[in-house]
Structure formats: structure tokens, C-alpha cells
Amino acid sequence: MTAPMSMTGFAGTGFATPLGQATIEIRSVNSRFLDLTLKFADDLRAFEPQVREAIGARLARGKVECRLSLQRSATGDSTRLNALAVSTLQRLGAEVQQALPHAAPLSVADVLAWPGVLETPTLDADALRTAVLAALEDSLNRLQESRTREGAALAAGLRGRCDAIDGIVGRLRERLPELRAAVERKLNERLNQVLGDSLSAASGLSRDDVAERIRQEVTLYGLRADVDEELSRLSTHVTEVRRVLDAGGAVGRRLDFLMQELNREANTLGSKATAIDLSQAAIELKLLIEQMREQVQNLE
């Protein structure tokens, strides 16, 4: 598989054609699909289908603009005088002057406007097409090299943030028993203070029965607030992100889905937070995931 590629890049190539000097430029930015726009000089518009097909075969996603401009040669011999036609016109003009002495002689404009005096060499369409497609291939190669370099940088950034998420999850796992015990202890103390005496007096329950009921409620609350499952899923999704990056190819859509799943777990973790440590960890996770999501938007 190929390495992940960015959808952002630029490449340009100048080249000579039978019509003059031409330039082809290809620029791309991120897009959900391949959105291709061609802007060609009129003399080169006939090659749009071949160019569109060649770009579509190389690029899978991105908003791509391809410009093909032409600077016609000002000193070239693309148009020349037909010597035989000028000689014939000169002879005919002399005969007219002899027959009609008072007739006005032909002007330069009259001569140039005469059919057949100016001639344009037959354009070699095959040579022109070969030049255009060769320049396009060179530009596409450069564009892909640029997108590959940026893709490698984006992948490295994503892996670094995966490491950061793993670090947060690891720290939470180490502290989870301590945090859980602290929350249960505080909750147990508060329930005893608020409900202990009133519940015992109202229901006729003994202090031990009340304590057992409170313990059950604290345990139930602890189960509902437990984040071990969320931490496990965060680790699983991070592992999958690394696997997708290692596999390479067109990874953007798959990674975008994984970002949604990571964000879902971070939100759930935040909603279950029972200590300042968990709340801060959830915020850090969401920040990292948002940074990853922005980077993923640029991957093909």
C-alpha cells in the first residue's frame, strides 16, 4: 500500500509546443470527493478529455484545479507569406495597370487580405498532444511527491497525538481505583450525614440496615460512573488509527469515522466525570481529538 497522502499540493511545469511556450499548473486542497476544474487556453481545449482522464486515474479525492496556459511565439514562423501567391498577384497587378493605367495599385493590406497570400503550416496535433500529456505527467508526479511529503508529516502528527491519548488513558487507569475510592468515600459520608438519621427514624430501620442501604446506593452509583469501558474503547480506537496509518492508501474517510468514535468516548468520559482529574482528562482528550480531526480532513 502507498503511504497516506495529503490532499493539499501544488505543481507546475513549463514546456514548449508547436504553438509556443505553454505552462501547466495543478493545485489541490481538501474535499470529500474529487472535484476537478479545468481552465485551458482555447488552442489547447481539445485535450481536456485526456487531461481529465489522466488526473482522475491518479487522484482519488480533493478539490483540484488544472490550468493550461499558452504564450504564442511572437517571432515564430507560424504564419508566412506564400511566395507563389504573391508573385502571381504581382503579375496580375501589372497586367491590370497596363490595361487600366489610371487604376490604383494594390496596397499592402490588399495583398495580405488576398486569399492564399498568408499561409499557416499544418499543425502537428500528435506532437502537441504528446507535449501536453508529458508535461501533465511530470506535474502529476511532482504534485504526488508534494502530497506524499505533507501526508507523511500529517501521519507523524496523528501518531504523536495517539501517543498523547495513550498517555492520558494510562494515567487514568493507574489512578482509577484511587479516584473511585475517594468518590465513594465522599458520597458515603454525605449520604450518612443527610439521610442516616432521618431514614432510620422514618422507616424504623436499624443503623446497620441504613448503612447497608447507603452502601448499595453508593455501589450502584459507582457502577454507573465507572469509566473503565470508555478507557478501553479509547485505547482500541487509537490502536485502529495506528493500524490504518500503517496500512496507508486512501485513509481519510476511515480516519474521519474513527475521530467521531474517539470524540464520542471522550464526551461520555466527561459526562461521567466524578473528579476534577477526570474532567481535565476529558478536556485534554477532546482537544487532542479535535486537532487530529482537523489533520485528518487533509488526508486523501
pLDDT in tens, 55-101: 999 998 899 999 999 887 654 455 677 788 888 888 888 888 888 88
Q: Which three cell numbers stand for residue 128?
A: 502537441
Sign of CA dihedral 207, 208, 213, 216: positive
The answer to whether the beta carbons of residues 277 and 183 sit under 8 Å apart is no
Of the candidates 182, 216, 183, 185, the one whose C-alpha atom is nearest the C-alpha of residue 199 is 216
Residue 268, class by beta-carbon neighbours within 10 Å (0-12 exposed, 13-18 middle, 19+ buried)?
Answer: middle
Of the candidates 269, 282, 172, the one whose C-alpha atom is nearest the C-alpha of residue 227 is 269
Q: Which helix (H) or strand (E) element contains residue 142?
A: helix 125-203
Of the candidates 261, 266, 246, the one whose C-alpha atom is nearest the C-alpha of residue 169 is 266
Model-level pTM?
A: 0.68
Cα–Cα distance for residue pair 140/28, rounded to 1 Å: 11
Amino acid at 5: M
State the pLDDT at residue 235: 93
Distances (CA, A) of 98 to 86, 92, 110: 18, 10, 19
User: DSSP 3-state assignment of 65?
Assistant: strand
Segments in the chain below pLDDT 70: 1, 73-79, 119-123, 177-226, 273-275
State the pLDDT at residue 228: 77
Those residues whose C-beta lies under 8 Å from the C-beta of residue 276, and which sit 6 or more positions away, are none
Report DSSP letters for 188-239, one per residue.
Answer: HHHHHHHHHHHHHHHH---HHHHHHHHHHHHHHHHHHH--HHHHHHHHHHHH
Cα–Cα distance for residue pair 22/40, rounded to 1 Å: 11
Cα–Cα distance for residue pair 252/293, rounded to 1 Å: 10
Cα–Cα distance for residue pair 210/205, rounded to 1 Å: 6
State the pLDDT at residue 151: 93
Residue 185, class by beta-carbon neighbours within 10 Å (0-12 exposed, 13-18 middle, 19+ buried)?
Answer: exposed
**11 backbone dihedrals φ, ψ, rounded to 5°:** -155, 150
Q: Which helix (H) or strand (E) element contains residue 40?
A: strand 34-40
